[in-house]
Amino acid sequence: MRQRYRMLKHWIPAFAGMTILLIIMGIAHAQDEKTVPVTRDQITFSYAPVVKKVAPAVVNIYTQTRVQVTENLSPFANDPFFQQFMGQRGLTVPGRTREQVISSLGSGVIIKSDGMIVTSHHVIKDAQQIKIVLADRREFDAKLIMKDPGSDLAFLKIDATDLPYLDMRDSDTLEVGDLVLAIGNPFGVGQTVTSGIVSALARTAAGVSDYQFFIQTDAAINPGNSGGALVDMQGHLIGINTAIYSKSGGSVGIGFAIPANMVRSLLGSKVEGGRIVHPWLGFSVQPVTPQMAESTGLKNASGALVTQLVPGAPAEKSGLKAGDIILTVNGTAINIMQDLPYRLALVHIGETAKVGIWRDGKNQDIGMEMVAPPETPKRDQRVLKGNQPLTALTVANLSPALAAELGMDDNLTGVVVVAGSSNIAGIGTAVVPGDIILEINGTKITSAAQLEKIMNNGAHDWKIVYQHGPNTLTLTVRM
């Protein structure tokens, strides 16, 4: 027995030493052959394998835009003393106009090997020249294939093949706390990688896009990152970085990305004139309050309450009624009102969405056909002329199709200004594109032809009521 114990005592240290050696060799081997980390332990070592996989598919975008700039020739224009007593308008004098070239930068992501690139629409908006620089420093001129200002996405194409690209993940499978990497070109310093987590899902970011449904992350996103990639730990594209919340202009850990599912949906959407066409349904909604939920028998204050329907629109034809609460679209819950436009935007024109509603204390399903916004009434575009306050404005009859083109609520009606601006002496610019003319001298305006006739009646006193954004304004002018 003692002899056996002495033998074990002799071998245990040797065995332990061999075990440690094998562990060290295993670690060294793992470091020599880096792969995309899968387990939590592997992730703690390095993000380098993920970056190596995805970085070649992230590009830098450089744009140039030519604009006409009027130089102010007043010698007192920048004098605070004269500004205080005369105002900026009083110091404005006719100046010369010159062309100025504005350069900007951003990022993009290759999503197909044939050179298809997705980026943020605001990165390339109004650009006359778009240049793409790949990770290997090759440069290409890019062509704008299609754009969607409403979602702040645009698709570019370069003349290249066999390019590295990123596969898109189903962004609905993301969970708060998932690790993510943001890759882009912040401040033009070159490709940069930052890490973080998914901080929240289905977040709103007012003014960024019409679809208030974003992935929120604390991965640092700065100017120049727009259009860049947000990826998961397997190197899949989960979002396009588009905006930050910041009072200083720098990252404070609140960044927003457009979900990859929106990118995928737009690729299969209808396109007219390079612009992506979204379905038109013809109804309005508002949030569901706890009081509404209690009064209708709902357990939670979720969903979107239908308030108005356009007669003859797809929503009305489907059987939807004012007072219905929309709870799901194609089986996905509508937790807050802002979820609804996003979920409907993922359904293509020609398809039928299964919409779950709460009506009379019961769950019901209805089928809602997705149709393109119609141009009804016809736009009948006209240029106003003569000695009157709205001269040189181009106006048209507002339809769902025209409203979609102008980025307006597609349920609005009336006569809209589509070009020009009314520069009235002593008032300055008053009526601008996007404004809706409501009344002229007490007469309700219903068509562009009617407006043109009224403005040509030779009146000297004018009272113009128009809608500017959410505000109704009145302009009184004597000619």
For the beta carbon of residue 1, count every other beta carbon within 10 angstroms: 5
Cα 299 versus chain centre, distance? 32
Contact 406, 397 (CB under 8 A): no
SS3 of the chain: CHHHHHHHHHHHHHHHHHHHHHHHHHHHHHHHCCCCCCCHHHHCCCCHHHHHHHHHHEEEEEEEEEEEEECCCCCCCCCHHHHHHHHHHHCCCCCCEEEEEEEEEEEEEECCCCCEEEEEHHHHCCCCEEEEECCCCCEEECEEEEEECCCCEEEEECCCCCCCCCCECCHHHCCCCCEEEEEECHHHCCCEEEEEEEEEEEECCCCCCCCCCEEEECCCCCCCCCCCEEECCCCCEEEEEEEECCCCCCCCCCEEEEEHHHHHHHHCCEEECCEEECCECCEEEEECCHHHHHHHCCCCCCCEEEEEECCCCHHHHCCCCCCCEEEEECCEECCCCCHHHHHHHCCCCCCEEEEEEEECCEEEEEEEECECCCCCCCCCCEECCCCCCCCCCEEEEECHHHHHHHCCCCCCCEEEEEECCCEECCCEECCCCCCEEEEECCEECCCHHHHHHHHCCCCCEEEEEEEECCEEEEEEEEC
What is d(CA 17, CA 35) in angstroms, rounded to the nearest whole number? 28
Positions marked active-site:
122, 152, 226
Cα 402 versus chain centre, distance? 20
Contact 158, 117 (CB under 8 A): yes
Dihedrals φ, ψ of 228, to 5°?
-80, 180
Q: What is the Cβ-side half-sphere exposure of residue 332, based on CA atoms within 13 angstroms?
A: 15
For the beta carbon of residue 4, count every other beta carbon within 10 angstroms: 8
What is d(CA 99, CA 308) in angstroms, rounded to the nearest whole number? 47
What is d(CA 167, CA 291) in angstroms, rounded to the nearest whole number? 44
Name beta bridge partners: 196.
Answer: 180
